[in-house]
Amino acid sequence: MTTHKPAARGQAATAPPERGPGPVPVPLIVNDVPYTLDIEPRVSLLSALRDGCGLTGAKRGCDQGTCGACTVWVEERRVLSCLTLAIACEGRRVTTVEGLAQGGELHPMQEEFIAHDAFQCGYCTPGQLMSAVALVREGHAGAPGEEADPAEISEWMSGNLCRCAAYPHLTAAIAAAAKRM
């Protein structure tokens, strides 16, 4: 995580201008589509995506950062969009579950989720998918050509709750998709 040092006194010219508390224009690039939302600085990325962009794939399961249903990527990194301010993502590339399939062709992870029946109600699925693809990319499902370690996958997927408890199917789906990614 990068940290930003607060600007020293007398250097106000270099500090970002104060905005809000009312609505301000916030530019976001979501799934390669540019949006400019008129939102209050307190609005979370999750609310901005769902209510502002109309992208309801990311789900509000807790709004406390404990369930993972709202997981999206900012740049390449998975974040809990309920705990991320939209205004902090200005100018960054945000990817949601709606951006996973390319031109109508499902991502291997989506295909393996379906093939392994890795969900029941489907509410946690968008977050599970975004975590799953990221963890493979992060190298937690084995190096290319290597067998994945199910225990490692389970550990790195434990921030995404599935109350239907389709966990064994999730782990199997991720291991299978990792071989195809």
Partner 1 sequence: MTATAPPAQSPPAGEALGRPLRRADGREKTTGTARYSGDHAPAGLTHAALLGAHIAAGRIRALDTTGALAAEGVRAVFTHENLPRIAAQPPLLPSLAGGPAPGQTFFPLQDPEIHYAGQPVAMVVADTWERALHATRLIRVDYEEAPSATVLDQIRHTAFEPEKIFGGLLPGRATRGDLAAGLERAEVTVDLTFTYAANHQNPLETCTTTASWEGGRLFLYDSAQGPAATQHTLAVLLGLPHADIRVDSHLVGGSFGCKAMTWAHPALAALAARETGSPVRLALTREQMFTSCGHREEQEQRVTLGALRDGRLVALRHHKLSPTSHFDDWAEPSLEAASQLYACENYEGRYLLARAHTMTPTFMRCPGEATGLFALESAMDELAQRTGLDPLELRRRNHAERDPVTGKPWSSKGLQECYARGAALIGWERRAAPPAREGDWLIGLGMATAAYPIVPPVNPQRAKARVFADGSALVQAGVAEFGTGATTAMAQVAADALGLPVDACRFEGGSTDLPNVSAAVGSMGASYTGAAVHAAATALRAQLIAQAIADPESPLHGARAADVTLAGGRMVLRDRPETGESYAQLLRRHMQPDAEATGSWGPADLTASGSSHAMLTFGAQFAEVAVDADLGVIRVRRLVGAFAPGRVLNARMAANQLMGGMLWGLGQALLERTFMDPALGRWNNTSLGDYLVPVNADVPEVTVELVEVHDEAVNPLGVKGVGEIGQAGTAAALANAVHHATGRRLTRLPMSLEDLL
Q: Which residue ranges make up the site for partner 1 (CB under 8 A)?
A: 22, 40, 42-43, 47, 50-51, 54-67, 69, 96-98, 100-101, 106, 110, 113-117, 119-126, 129, 151, 153-155, 157-172
Least distance in angstroms from the C-beta of 95 to partner 1: 11
Which residues lie closer than 8 Å to 29 by C-beta, 6 or more apart?
35, 91, 92, 93, 94
In terms of C-beta density within 10 A (0-12 exposed, 13-18 middle, 19 or more buried), how is residue 24 classed? middle
Find the shortest distance in angstroms from Cβ 139 to partner 1.
18
- To partner 1, the closest distance from the beta carbon of 156 in angstroms equals 9
Which is closer to partner 1, CB of 20 or CB of 139?
A: 20
Nearer to partner 1, 65 or 142 (CB): 65
Q: Identify the H or E element spanning 26.
A: strand 24-30
Closest separation in Å from C-beta 75 to partner 1: 19
Q: Which three-class secondary structure string do you get for 78-140?
A: EEEHHHCEHHHHCCCEEECHHHCCECCECCHHHHHHHHCCCCCCCCCHHHHHHHHHHHHHCCC
For partner 1, the closer CB: 14 or 134 = 134
- Determine how many CB atoms are found less than 10 A away from the CB of residue 121: 10
Among 72, 56, 181, residue whose Cα is nearest residue 131: 72
Q: What distance lies between CA 27 and its chain's CA centroid?
A: 18
Instruction: Considering the complex, state which of residue 6 and residue 54 has its C-beta at the smaller distance from partner 1.
Output: 54
Residue with smaller CB distance to partner 1, 3 or 64: 64
CB of 8 to partner 1, least distance (A): 32
